[in-house]
Amino acid sequence: MRQRHRLGRQFGWLWGAYGTSALGTWLAFGAFPLIAIQVLHAGPAEVAALSSVGALAGAAVAVPLGSWVEFRRKRPVMVGTDLVRFVALLTIPAAFALGVLSFVQLLLVSVVVAAADITFRAASGAYLKTLLPAEDLLVANARFEATTWTTTIIGPPLGGAAVGILGPVATVLADALSHLLSALGIRAMGGQEPPPERREAARPRSRDLLDGWRYILADAMLRPLLVNTAFFNGLVMAADALLAVLMLGRLGFAPWQYGLAFAAPALGGLFGARLARPLVTRFGQHRVLVVAGTLRAIWPVGLAFVGPGTAGLLLVMGVQFGLVLCCGVFNPVCATYRLERTATGRVTRTLSAWSVTTRASTALLTAVWGVLGSLLGPRTAIGLAGLLLLATPLLLPRRAPASLAETKPAPPSSPKERTMTVTTPAVDPRTAALLVMDYQQAILASLPADPEALLSQVAGAISDMRAHGAAIAYVRVGFTEADWAAIPPANKAFSVLGRQRLMHHADPATDIHHRLAPEPGDITVRKTRFGALSTTDLDRRLRDRGITTLVVTGVATGGAVLSTVVEAADRDYRLYVLSDCVADPDPQTHQMLMTGILPRLAHIVDTAELRSLLKSPSPHAGGK
């Protein structure tokens, strides 16, 4: 309860909604195949189609939803997808009561539920990143992971009892009601949600559909992590399906023994989730991610040696306990790592692409291993999956990212500074200035998305820095006739501006955006090249005020931000780049610079982290 209180009331509601929905899902675990077999008398091919085709079709439906949700407020989407699942699942007991239930209806409901589930998870991940500060994300994800394993322990036995007494349709009704309760819990959270990246009236473009995959593939850390996750999850689930055939068929285990073999080891998931945060605190996020990801791969091969009787049952339970323990550590660390690596305006699309990929790969590998199990026998196919799993650690990101140095965190000196580590020093506002660069209408118009969300983040950073007494320096691009005449033809970027007489300094389109308007006492400079220091007296004016630290915001990442950071680093400023206050017309250029180049020269933080890094000036300190 102490941890829940620390994370706040809104997270408490979100956590409760998640637990309620997860419990309902596990109560109804296996209900659809049972209904298909017991009520509709479906054959093996139809049952297999219900599991694989439903998941694949649901994933396909979720692809356009991810880009659509990115530009909407996330809480209404979460409530909406919960209600969609409630209504869709409710049609099954209703149709059963009326005697009109069909296999086609089961298949359609499975597609709707799968698509809604992917969309809900993507929206909730994006919402969680805005709800909590970065240092609390691992705590929150560990709580979700522990809840998952708790409901895994409780749900299937209760669901099995309900199926035995009331039939499988009753558990579907319970699952439906759990989503209704989840929707009510999310609705009751209260509070204000940050605005989406662009106006809700904006329509998603066709290229947005693939943005999530583009973002992942462009990131040197997320790319191998997705491939590892897709293969690991798919192979584990494929082996589990064949293990059910082996245990319940040839080895003669009773259904309750099979259920016990998977329910009891879920305790390992609880232990793992509790260990995740202490391990990261001691050894660093990246090391824990790689070690836990490696250890979880060594267990499944042992399932190929399961035999009949008590010894066989204990072997399965031991293997599953070790696997689930390692997954309990890995999963929340991976979820946090993924959120931290993803820009705020890309979270929904990235998580949607992630879920679609892992679910599709799981369905495909399960189908392939079903064929292999028929040709080679279940035990051989399980062993083959286990051997391939031993190679999956090679797909993990082997080195720590430059922007997320994995040194051991320093103990917090106070609650206010609990986010500071040895790699991210605090910001002293008495010697710091916020650079607000090129936020001009003519330049903002080049961005692919509406700049409203970006402007809101920058306005918040300005407010935070002002509140702590830091300097604000505005930089704008603007040319006089003499400036145009002085641009040589050899300058590829700026000679075009000179020839076409663009960006005149008196043109209203070159004014600083009205939402970020300077105030008396702020520094303002006009430049005629990319860098803020190269054609201005900004460096002298900053030095006159004793400024040695620059917090950088600006458009574009590949222009003003890159040039200014490189030159300021050469002039020995301490540098911070606000990741949610910079943008570029080319998302791939932005991603490459933010993850590969700029972290070598500056600390990459977001506006929430900046607040935690700002130190209040001493009450006895004089002005600048």
Here the tokens at position 475 are 């930089």
Q: What is the pLDDT of residue 90?
A: 92
User: With the CA atoms of 137, 140, 144 and 147 taken in that order, what torsion angle do they form, in degrees rounded to the nearest 10?
Assistant: 160
Query: For 558-579, what is each residue's pLDDT tens digit?
Result: 999 999 999 999 999 999 999 9
The one-letter code for the residue type at 351 is: L
Here the tokens at position 305 are 């040696």
Pure H helices in 501-547 = 538-544
First to last CA, the chain: 45
Here the tokens at position 175 are 């699952």
Stretches where the chain sits below pLDDT 70 are 1-6, 29-30, 33-34, 37, 42-55, 58, 62-63, 66-67, 156-157, 159-160, 163, 192, 194-209, 255-256, 259, 344-345, 399-423, 615-624
Please tell me the distance from the alpha carbon of residue 81 to that of residue 126, in angstroms, as a whole number. Answer: 15
Residues 109, 347: contact at Cβ < 8 Å?
no
The one-letter code for the residue type at 57 is: A
Q: What is the pLDDT of residue 10?
A: 84
Q: Using CB atoms within 10 A of its CB, is residue 143 exposed (0-12), middle (13-18) or buried (19+)? A: buried
3-state class (DSSP) for residue 518: coil
> Nearest to residue 257, comparing CAs of 266, 247, 265?
247
Q: What is the pLDDT of residue 458?
A: 94
For 221-244, b/e burial (b = at least 16 CB within 10 A) is bbbebbbbbbbbbbbbbbbbbbbb
Please tell me the distance from the alpha carbon of residue 176 to that of residue 104, in angstroms, as a whole number. Answer: 19
Q: What is the pLDDT of residue 146?
A: 85
Here the tokens at position 562 are 């890159």
Please tell me the distance from the alpha carbon of residue 129 to that of residue 152, in angstroms, as a whole number. Answer: 26
Do the strands 574-583 and 549-555 form a parallel or antiparallel pair, or are they unpaired? parallel
β-pair partners for 424: 421
Q: Using CB atoms within 10 A of its CB, is residue 493 exposed (0-12), middle (13-18) or buried (19+)? A: exposed
Q: What is the pLDDT of residue 365?
A: 87
- 3-state helix/strand/coil string of 365-425: HHHHHHHHHHHHCHHHHHHHHHHHHCCHHHHCCCCCCCCCCCCCCCCCCCHHHCCCECCEC
Query: For 383-401, what is each residue's pLDDT tens digit?
Result: 999 999 999 999 998 765 5
Residues 447, 585: contact at Cβ < 8 Å?
yes
Please tell me the distance from the alpha carbon of residue 84 to that of residue 105, in angstroms, as a whole number. Answer: 15
Sheet containing strand 523-527, strands side by side: 523-527, 471-477, 432-437, 549-555, 574-583, 603-605
